[in-house]
Amino acid sequence: MEILPLLRLNRFKVFLLSRAGVSISPDTVISSTFKVVGCGRVKVGGPSFIGHRVTFYTSSADISVGRGVDIGPEVSIITGGHEIGNETRRAGKGSNEPVTISDGCWIGARVLILGGVTIGAGTVVAAGAVVTDNLDGGSLYAGVPARKVKSLDGNY
């Protein structure tokens, strides 16, 4: 579903998303072209920010975003995946695992977050990173796959 890609009527976007079963705090800012694909539940706490061209692919697993989370442009969160199959079909048995982004995180532009991941509170994920495993709270991660660069000062 793509909700009002060119309009800036944030309260109206939140209302429409809620009618589609997506739970978004009314004080969350949604940029244009936010998409939710699939039948998993989505919950976003506020105040948070969802950037331009962000897509949540839920398959049948849930995506939970905490309070005070900033998600940069063109971020993709994908809960579904596949095991590696045999030589006749490499995309083997499918899987769906939830994604949790804890309070106070900043997810940079064009980050890809895969299913089964929990990102700890106050973590920063640098632009272009691919998150395949759980990330500790209060840390900076970068790269493909995302690796810890350093711990951050703060209350996390």
In this structure, the dihedral spanned by the alpha carbons of residues 112, 117, 121 and 122, taken in order and rounded to 10 degrees, is -20
Q: What angle do CA 123, 126, 129 make, to 5 degrees?
A: 110
Of the candidates 8, 82, 147, 148, the residue annotated as catalytic is 82
- Distance (Å, whole) CA 43 – CA 10: 16
Tell me if residue 82 is catalytic: yes
Where are the alpha helices (H) located in 36-147, listed in sequence order? Answer: none
Residues carrying an active site annotation = 82
